[in-house]
Structure 1
Amino acid sequence: MQYKDYYKTLGVARNASQDEIKRAYRRLARKFHPDVSKEANAEARFKEVNEANEVLHDPEKRAAYDALGSNWRAGQDFRPPPGAAGNREFHFNPGEAADFSDFFSSIFGRAFHSDARETRRRRGQDQNIKIAIDLEDAYRGATRQIKLDAQETAADGSRNTRSRTLNVRIPEGVTQGRQIRLAGQGAAGLNGGPPGDLYLEIELAPHRHFTPDGKDIQLRLPIAPWEAALGASVTVPTLGGSVSLKIPAGSQSGQKLRLKGRGLPGKPPGDTIVVLEIVAPPANTEAAREAYRLMAERLNFNPRAELGV
């Protein structure tokens, strides 16, 4: 049989902490979960990730695996030494173990029991899904209805599909990538064990005017040349409604002005960062062209002076 490098499967170092292993597993499980993944080999990779996590998240199993040595490479022919697992009795999810490799069973055995009562209660796996919302919903908060189709594995290895609908409250002020934990809404437990948790990862849909940066919101604000040169008070849109903004005289394109507390809600709230963009009016009438000619004649202005030309 072939040796399996569980550390390589999860993409962590051999001295990785339990938190690092947990984070790596959650990321990969979310990426390759057959219910949501678009990857061609998602189901096979999901099984590999589950098997690696089954070993590395448990200190006893990890110690037994590490005792095999660190000189093996993934894919090498492997024959476990006698008593590789020592005298310890290992516990794992029998339903999942039906999908584990011969390499796994050669070390830890297949803990199948004809009587399900002989297997221990086990907490269900956590699940991760992404949910897309508009920026306005992130600002005000919203309610979303999500439908979940989950594959459940029974103690005998059989699988069933369970569908359910959840009404989810999105709190105001959520940011890109934030995870919302729904306790007990993950995969069902084994043999009466508690269910896992469901994690919703927020994805903010693109907005025509606003660009989020954490809790701050960036807005490109077009202004006329005379507003930039002379200064002006202009009306500016924000997620919370329009406000008045004073443009300082002598402003330039790219200059940033801050509207304190006008970003996403929070403690403290974010700001709206206004980026000025000077827009020249079109010379599409004779009067407009004459105005430009007068400016060229009367203003001693060379926009390329810094270039030395």
Structure 2
Amino acid sequence: MSAPRRGGLLVALVTVLILGSGAFAHAGDYGGKEDGKGDVIVDGTETTETTTGGIGGTRIFVPGPWTQRVLVPYCPANLVRATGRGMREYEMDDDMCMGAVSTCPDPEDRRWWVFERPMNADNVATEDGFSRGGVVCRGAADPSEAEPPTITVEQIMDQARARAPRPTFVIEPAAKSYVNVPTNFAAQVAPATVNVELLGFTIPVEFTPGDATWRFGDGGSDTGVGVRNASVGQSGAVEHVYARSGDYDVSVTVGYDVRIIVPTGDPITLPTPISRAAAPQSLTVGEVQSVVTGVD
């Protein structure tokens, strides 16, 4: 029995954002080899302290020459025929026979013909029809068609997090203060751009510092980046007065707005900032003792 299939329907479900041109491996590439998987795996690092706000799985289409591969059961009469004026559409025969169900090393697998044709960056076939590219053994539930090469926002951010800027801060006038004396705090932050290398592309990711949240170690907190060498009460300054002597661990966390630069499309802005914490610093708070030395 013949079953028509439109291979291009899935494209409408993918968020298409043009990145540039180039040749790519891609998930679902069967390779035309026995038991070949060929899936792209990107290792992420430092996955804490951030969220992509629900857009991490957004797929970004990576235009470039690729190979469309379609699997049909390994039966002599089964074929894949191109339709749709060179686009991704095709028709296929998917009759099942003993050659497809009983000839793989794993009895749970099925044997499949791999039909393939080259596609250009616009998803248009560069040849009129499909040719046989080999035979594979795969599970019946595995994908039967290779999709165009794509990456996701989460894959980009998995790499960008490890290179994201981390704030530092200063305590003024020094790492020692006194009870009831205002102490000045200022974060040292600046915009930064890191480059992510993924599937042959260099993708700039911009980090712009925003809100800063302070913890002074005595239960007190404040917000704001602060001002270096600020006078007491100066607008924008972050000050704190300790009521008791002791040693306190001071920390600040800064939220960075993140924008992914898509070379030939609109930038992607993450809806939620990425929080980055500075290394804590210890502050010793002492007491000022007054001594009477004489009476006029």
TM-score range, shorter chain: under 0.3
TM-score (norm 1): 0.23
- TM-score for the superposition, normalised by structure 2: 0.24
Pick the structure with more strand per residue. 2
Which one has more relative contact order, counting CA pairs under 8 Å at least 6 apart?
2
Higher helix share: 1
